Amino acid sequence: MNVLIVYAHPEPKSLNGSLKDFSVKRLEEAGHTVQVSDLYAMNWKALLDAHDSVERQAGERFDPSRESKHAYANGLQSKDIEREQEKLKWADAVILQFPLWWFSMPAILKGWVERVYAYGFAYGVGEHSDARWGERYGEGMFAGKRAMLVVSTGGWESHYSSRGINGPMNDVLFPIQHGILYYPGFDVLPPFVIHRTSRVDAAKYAEVSDALGQRLDALWTTTPIPFRPQNDGAYTIPDLTLRADIAPDRVGFAAHVE
């Protein structure tokens, strides 16, 4: 199988760097082919702007999604964007690995999403009708592929528990897991989270890498998070709210998991 690791940490000798190297080795030893987009090492351009097209639409004010649609449809995207899209098409599984900075992904990875996720590629796909609202949330370009987050945080596990002060980790990650991965069609596996990174000594590292290795071994067999597909009848269209008879007592993020 083909695995793409999109990795965002500025220091190769960091815990994240070591775990990224570990993952590549583990996956290759299991017979998989691995590509790594090491965003800091690539000096990835994080800012979505008018320079993302080889040739701008004339006389227009810069509208990010209109420009993205035009560039994607006409082969006018910047080459660095095209290369990452090719990697995504090639991959059977995608791992996003990053330290949790201010309760989200680092800016460099956010900018990878914003630029690589073109209109017509990761959004703006499919028809809108009374029965369907585009191909998204369970359908889309990446349907059939798997995705998983590998995330490190300085905080304690209890701080991210159901009543922990930072909010439950699965809710903190919902905008990424549901909004960035499930949206364009990925099956999203439960995240692999490392807590209290400053306390990871050699013994703890052995434990963490062993647990990560087991998750990588099970990449093709782990049950994905059962997010609800948008166009299978659970949501009314076009307001896209859950039908009244489905999980009638639930609101918020949890309502969108079966």
Site residues (CB under 8 A) for its own copies? 10-11, 13-14, 40, 46-50, 61-65, 99, 101-108, 110-111, 113-114, 117, 137, 154, 156, 158-159, 161-168, 171-172, 174-176, 178-180, 230, 235, 238-242, 250-256
Spatial distance between the Cα atoms of 33 and 30, rounded to a whole number of angstroms: 9
Rounded Cα distance between 90 and 74, Å, is 21
Cα dihedral 207, 190, 96, 152 in deg (nearest 10): -40
Give the nearest distance from C-beta 26 to its own copies in angstroms. 23
In the complex with its own copies, the residue whose CB is nearer, 203 or 244, is 244
Q: Cβ of residue 88: shortest distance to its own copies, in angstroms?
A: 15
Q: What is the DSSP letter of 180?
A: I
Shortest Cβ distance from residue 192 to its own copies (Å)?
Answer: 19
Q: 222-257: b or e for each residue (b if 16 or more CB lie within 10 Å)?
A: beebebbbbbeebbeeeeeebeeeebeeeeebebbe
Please enumerate in sequence order all residues whose Cβ is within 8 A of that of 105, keeping only pairs 6 or more positions apart, or say none: 8, 96, 98, 113, 176
- Based on CB atoms, which residue is closest to its own copies, 79 or 163? 163
Name which of 178 and 215 has its Cβ closer to its own copies: 178
In angstroms, what is the minimal distance from the CB of 242 to its own copies?
4
170 Rama class: left (phi>0) / alpha (psi -120 to 50) / beta: alpha
* Shortest separation between residue 13's beta carbon and its own copies, angstroms: 4
Question: Tokens 């013994």 appear where?
Answer: 203
**Minimum CB separation from its own copies for residue 14, in Å?**
7
Calpha distance 182→225 (Å, rounded): 10
Nearer to its own copies, 220 or 250 (CB): 250
Measure the CA–CA gap between 184 and 196, rounded to whole angstroms. Answer: 32
Q: Select 210 or 258, whichever has its Cβ closest to its own copies.
A: 258
Specify the residue, 17 or 91, whose C-beta has the smaller distance to its own copies.
Answer: 17
Cα(74)–Cα(166) distance, integer angstroms: 44
